[in-house]
Structure formats: structure tokens, C-alpha cells
Structure 1
Amino acid sequence: MRDAVIEAARFLADHTDQPITLGDVADHVGYSPFHLARSFERRLGVPPGQFLAAHRFQHAKRLLLAGDDRVIDICHAVGFTSVGTFTARFAAAVGASPVAFRRLPDALADAPPRPVLVPGSAPGGGAVGGSVRLSPAAAALLGAGASVYVGLFPRRAARGFPVSGSLLAGAGDFLLTDVPPGTYWVLATALPARADLPAQLVPATSVVGAAPRPVRVTAAGQCHHRDVHLDVAQTWQPPVLVALPPLASPHAQDWRRRRPERILG
């Protein structure tokens, strides 16, 4: 079934600009829609519909930064029929509306990302620490001085704001603090620090990783350990949707101003 899930993921990633149903994907791989959907989510962490939407949003991010096409035209180009639905779902996944995302390169030019820890919403709460390591292929792709983003998310998908997050100046140790009770996934990605801002917002090739199992925080003062191994992602893998550089910028997002921050030395 693993091969069928990967083939289904490839099929979805190749048809982001076309109307497609779960039945179409199930027919392509020769499984029932029910069994495919269940196996797909278990293997990749997101259901097929959300997986398809993620690839559509990633394509929309590229279009938003590549030119001045209207949002409604981009909405239709990536397979959505309602600009309202597209805008709301894009903002929920990326952390910025399509219009605001298009303006991020200008905002980041004045306030570039820097190493930072953004704690969670529960002062004195739990903590999650560990190490991020790059595969040889990822290290070769990124070159010297990679920017490594690591965060806690309620699902095995980097969409929306992390519960707690950090930008590291390269691979190494991290500690995420003030984490409220809950079950979370430790997810990470790395970007070439010397890339221009559009390339940092939508990298041509992703370097991603996740801890092999979730972490459950139940009490204040708990410290959990999770290591993350980063490797070059396959083109069909779920993209990192959340706009990460603004989360490490001192001024690019209003929500950062409303939360305490600690700059890592």
C-alpha cells in the first residue's frame, strides 16, 4: 500500500491545476477511495484533499511573487473557483493573506530574519528540545550558513503558526519553551541563508524533516527530547506552507509584536 500512496501523491502533485476527485486518484492506483484515503493520511499525515490544496497553495505562492496577476486570476489558475474560499484557506495555511504574502519581500528587506526563539503561550509550561541534523545531500544543496527553522505544530504538516518556534543559525541544538499542554509534531526545514527573499519564501527545492513520533506535553516543567533529520524533499511531498522568514523577522508580522521574544546569542 505504501507504493500506492506515493503514486497517489505523485498523481495529485501533477494535477494541481485540474479538477480532480478522490475517485479519480483511487482509480489511478487501483484502490477503493475509502482505503486509499485512510492509508494516505496515515502515511503522509494529511488527507488527500488537504494534500492537493497544499500543492495548490504552494503554486499560488510562486505566482504571487512572480508577477502582478490579480488574486482572482491566481485563484482560478490553481484550481479554486471561489476567491473568498481561496483567500481564507490560503491565509490559514500560510499565515498571511495572498495580498500580504505578495508584500513580504518588501517587508523583509527592511527587517530580515534573524535567529530567534518565539516561546509558546504558556509561561513556565513544557519544553521540547533536541538536535537538527542535515543529510549530506541537504548540506550540499544549502551550502554554508543554512537557516534552520524548527517548530511545534498540532499536526504533521507545517501550516499556520507554530505553537512555539525557532530560527537557528545552522544545524544544531534547539529548545522550544512555554509549550501549553497538548500533542505536537516537531517539524523543521532549512533554507539557504544567502538566497534572495523570494527564494526563501518559496524555495525551488525543499529540505524538510520531522521527528519520528509526536510529543505529548501534559504538565508545566516537563522537558521532552526529539531529534530531527533533514533531507532533500521529493517534489511530490507535502510542501511547507507557512511563511517562515516573517516569523523570524522583528517587524514583518503584527502577531510577533504581541508576544514576548528572545533573541538567541
Structure 2
Amino acid sequence: MADHTAERAVERVITLMRENLDEQLTVDDMARTAMFSKFHFSRMFQRVTGVSPGRFLSALRLEQAKRLLISTSYNVSDISLRVGYTSVGTFSSRFTRSVGLSPTTYRRQRGVTAEIRTGTPGYATGAPPATVSGIIRHAKPSPRRRLIFAGLFRDRLPEGRPVACAVLREPGPFLIEQVPAGMWYLLMHSVPKGAETARNDDLTEVATCGPIAVRPGAAVEGCDALLQPARHLDPPVLLALLDVRTAALEVALEQV
């Protein structure tokens, strides 16, 4: 199957998802829209986007919930229904786990958080940490000063706690320290300083590298990445990155 044909089919499904976030879409519904069998559709979607159809849909729902919390006066229960959750408790727990703030805190703080927590619950401690390094470049020069967040995650979807991360003031060499052993994806997200968290527009750039195999105490080099405008096919960035990166940068500058 040609990549172009697969991407067009996946784009049709993502459009279906975005237009029906409050509906209980099934894989059968998505496969019919893609015009492939359910088996071939699921494999194709995973190959094109890096995540399963179900996880992509869940991410879109939480992304929309973030927008509604900031831009409307709907209560949390109403928002949970508008993005397809029948239980406000389930919605709140998933939002908190993925974004890093509860829905009410996210709204009260307008998406601002003072810190970002890293961690790898369930992984053995005591092994010497590793480092991951490379070079980050922009596909197109930007006239606006950008902050760049680089984090290591368990899979292709940037949500929850990164296992380790770094904040850059500009493109170029980077070094992420205190990296635990494991198989990680390096996910990067860049927006102009002071801009609101957005996606799929001229302000947002993303990049992915991986999976990266990290051994205890290793210095993993050559993890280069090219930041490009977010595409329709890119999974949403759920972690509240923008304000976290701004705060982290200000702390770093104070220590210089």
C-alpha cells in the first residue's frame, strides 16, 4: 500500500474523530471510513501515527477538553460529556494523568503549572543513569524566539510524566541527563515564548526520534531531530508543556 494512500485514509478517520468527539466511535466505524478491513486499518493507523486508533481518539478528546476548560464556562461535567466521557470521574482521572493537572486546577491556573515532574514508576532504581544527546533544528527559520521542550516518553504519545527532559532556548545541541535505562521515544515540542498552547497551526512545531534503546550509564548520541509544523496526523501534545517550559527556562536563567 502506498504511503500516500494510507495517510489519506488515516486523515479521513482523524477528521471523523474530530467531528464526533462526543460519540462512541468503534474501530468498525473507523475502518469503514478508511475503507479497509478492521485488521488492516488498525495496523495502518498505528504505522502512520505511531499510536493505536483508540489512543489517538482519547488524546483528541483530552485536547479538546483543554481548549474548553480555557475558553468556555462549561462545568467539568458538561465538558466530559462533550468530549465523549459518560463518567466525570473517569474523565478527571485520565485528564490529570495525561496533562499533569486536574481539570479544575488546569482551568483555575489557565494551563499554567510551576513544575514538571519526571519519573518512571515501576522501574528498578539503583542503576547508573544515562544521557541522551543530539542536535535539534528547525525546518524553517522562525523570526520569533522559541522555547523547545525535549522529553523522553514510553511511547509516541506525549502525555503524562516524561522519564527525563530538557528545556532549550534555541535550536542546536541538547543533552538530557538522568535518563533511566529502557526503550524511550524522544518527543519535542516548540512554540514561541508567550504564545498559548496550540496545535496544527503556524506556531506549533513537533519532532520525534525513536525508539531509543538506553542502557544503564550509557551516553546515547546522535538523537537528531527536525522540528516541523504539527500535522493533522501527529498525535496531540497533552502534557501542559508551554508554561512548564517557560517556568523552567526562567529558573535556569536565574542560575546562570
TM-score tier, shorter chain, comes to 0.7 to 0.9
The aligned residue for residue 208 of structure 1 is 206
CA contact (8 A) 1:119 1:178 kept: no
Query: Does 2:7 correspond to 1:9?
Result: no
- Which consecutive unaligned segments of at least 5 residues does structure 1 have? 252-260
CA contact (8 A) 1:187 1:228 kept: no
- Which consecutive unaligned segments of at least 5 residues does structure 2 have? none
Cα distance in structure 1, aligned partners of 2:119 and 2:78: 38
The aligned residue for residue 257 of structure 1 is none
Cα distance in structure 2, aligned partners of 1:93 and 1:249: 19
Cα distance in structure 2, aligned partners of 1:237 and 1:25: 17
Structure 1 pair 239–117 and aligned structure 2 pair: CA distance change class (3 A):
closer
The aligned residue for residue 174 of structure 1 is 174
Q: 1:204: how far off?
A: 6.5
Pick aligned residue for 2:134 from 124, 130, 134: 130
Give the root-mean-square deviation of aligned CA atoms: 2.8
Query: Does 2:214 correspond to 1:217?
Result: yes
The aligned residue for residue 146 of structure 1 is 146
Pick aligned residue for 1:45 from 50, 58, 74: 50
CA contact (8 A) 1:152 1:184 kept: yes
Q: Which residue identity is paired with 2:179? A: V
Pick aligned residue for 1:20 from 10, 22, 25: 25
Q: Which residue identity is paired with 1:225? A: G
TM-superposition CA deviations, 1:10-57 (whole Å, max 9, x none):
332333233311111111121111221122113211110110111111
Q: Please say which of residues 8-17 and 236-245 is displaced more in the overlay.
A: 8-17
Cα distance in structure 2, aligned partners of 1:180 and 1:262: 23
Cα distance in structure 2, aligned partners of 1:146 and 1:194: 9
Structure 1 pair 122–152 and aligned structure 2 pair: CA distance change class (3 A):
farther
CA contact (8 A) 1:208 1:230 kept: yes
Q: 1:220: how far off?
A: 1.0
Structure 1 pair 5–235 and aligned structure 2 pair: CA distance change class (3 A):
closer
CA contact (8 A) 1:88 1:97 kept: yes
The aligned residue for residue 59 of structure 2 is 54
Cα distance in structure 1, aligned partners of 2:45 and 2:129: 34
**What is the percentage of aligned positions where both structures have the same residue?**
32
Cα distance in structure 1, aligned partners of 2:32 and 2:130: 45
Query: Does 2:103 correspond to 1:98?
Result: yes
Instruction: Determine helix, strand or coil for the equivalent of 2:110.
Output: helix
Q: 1:249: how far off?
A: 6.0
- TM-score, normalised to structure 1, is 0.81
Runs of 4+ in 1 over 6 A off after TM superposition: 116-123, 261-264
Cα distance in structure 2, aligned partners of 1:61 and 1:129: 32
The aligned residue for residue 158 of structure 1 is 158
Q: Which residue identity is paired with 2:154? A: P
CA contact (8 A) 1:117 1:167 kept: no
Q: 1:149: how far off?
A: 0.7
TM-superposition CA deviations, 1:91-112 (whole Å, max 9, x none):
111111111211233855xx6x
CA contact (8 A) 1:13 1:55 kept: yes
Q: Which residue identity is paired with 1:71? A: V
Give the number of equivalent residue pairs: 242
The aligned residue for residue 191 of structure 1 is 191
